[in-house]
Amino acid sequence: MRGRRCSPTHRRRSSGSASRRWSHAETAAFLAIRADLDHSFLSTKRNKALWEAASARLHALGFARTPDQCKSKWKNLVTRFKGTEGAAAVAAAGTDQMQGGQVGGAAARGSSSSFPFHDELRRIFDARVERARALERKKVKGKDPDDDHDGGGDGDEDDEEEADQQVDEEDDGASGDTTRAGSKKRRRKAAAAARRTGSTGGVEGEVEAMLREFMRRQIEMEERWMEAAEAREAERRAREEEWRTAMVALGEERLALVRRWREREDAWRARAEEREERRHQLVAALLAKLGAGDASA
């Protein structure tokens, strides 16, 4: 019916659902916190503590959100970002073929404007790519953390590379043969790669030795546990056998007591029957005498 007023319960529910919505300022603050913790999210598999930290930071800023709400909000934002990225890529590809890419940029800007937090998420993912590239460059330059603990291995490689460069310069000045210099550079790179491979192999050997030591200790612990379990089982069996022996002895003693009681009972009954028989004989003799006296009288 038109003109029907909403009940107070309905109004309270609608206002409660509206209060659970994320405001623009709250979402922006959440994305700033998530960007600050992004490296930690990528370096660990269990993110429960990180979501709790994000929730605590939001609480400190005056936004009451649970860790589960933060996690759900991040998933929704990433889904919307991927959707706008896909739409922008399709629009840019189609318009680039028709108008040289000018309209494609406008389409990308239009798709990003439909999602107001597109630029924040783009910066987060660009930072991820930049960190991955920096890590790759460190690996290429031989600046791995394992190499820093080798005791000056990088300095030796730099000295060898400088000596090789001097030899290359002398050979180039004498002969001017660029092919020979290129081959020497390739040999130098191959030698550096071989040294890095050797260091990696050493690390793998150490890891394998640690794993073997761990497995050996595990086997020793299992053997000790089995020995302790067998000892406990033997002690249990000994106690059980002792208990059974004691119970058999108690049973035999009980049977002996019952046997003696029955023997005493039989002897008492025999004596009672004997007394009863004597009593009958005495009564019969007395009656016989009384009968004889009466007859003589």
For position 187, what pLDDT does the model report?
A: 72
Query: If the chain, 297 residues long, is cut into consecutive pieces of 10 residues, what is the mean pLDDT of each piece?
Result: 46 45 91 90 85 92 92 92 76 54 49 76 89 84 52 44 44 47 68 63 76 90 92 94 94 93 94 93 90 76
Q: Which CATH number applies to 21-144?
A: 1.10.10.60
For position 234, what pLDDT does the model report?
A: 94
Quick one: residue 109, left, alpha or beta (phi over 0 = left, psi -120 to 50 = alpha)?
A: alpha
Q: In 140-178, which positions are buried (b, 16+ CB within 10 angstroms) versus exposed (e)?
A: eebebeebeeeeebeeebeeeeeebeeebeeeeeeeeee
From the number of C-beta atoms within 10 Å of its C-beta (0-12, 13-18, 19+), residue 41 rates as middle
Domain ranges across the chain? 21-144
Question: Please, are residues 153 and 199 in contact by the beta-carbon 8 Å criterion?
Answer: yes
For position 71, what pLDDT does the model report?
A: 92
Q: Angle of helix 24-36 relative to helix 48-60, nearest 10 degrees?
A: 130
Query: Token pair of 210, please?
Result: 């640690």
Question: Please, are residues 54 and 67 in contact by the beta-carbon 8 Å criterion?
Answer: yes
For position 134, what pLDDT does the model report?
A: 86
Distance of CA 245 to the CA centre of its chain: 50
Amino acid at residue number 21: R
Distances (CA, A) of 82 to 77, 97, 125, 193: 9, 23, 11, 39
Neighbour tally for 26: CB within 10 Å: 17
For position 131, what pLDDT does the model report?
A: 86
For position 93, what pLDDT does the model report?
A: 61
As a whole number of angstroms, the distance between CA 239 and CA 142 comes to 67
Q: What is the 3-state secondary structure (H, E, C) of 17-52?
A: HHHCCCCHHHHHHHHHHHHHCHHHHHHCCCCHHHHH
For position 149, what pLDDT does the model report?
A: 43
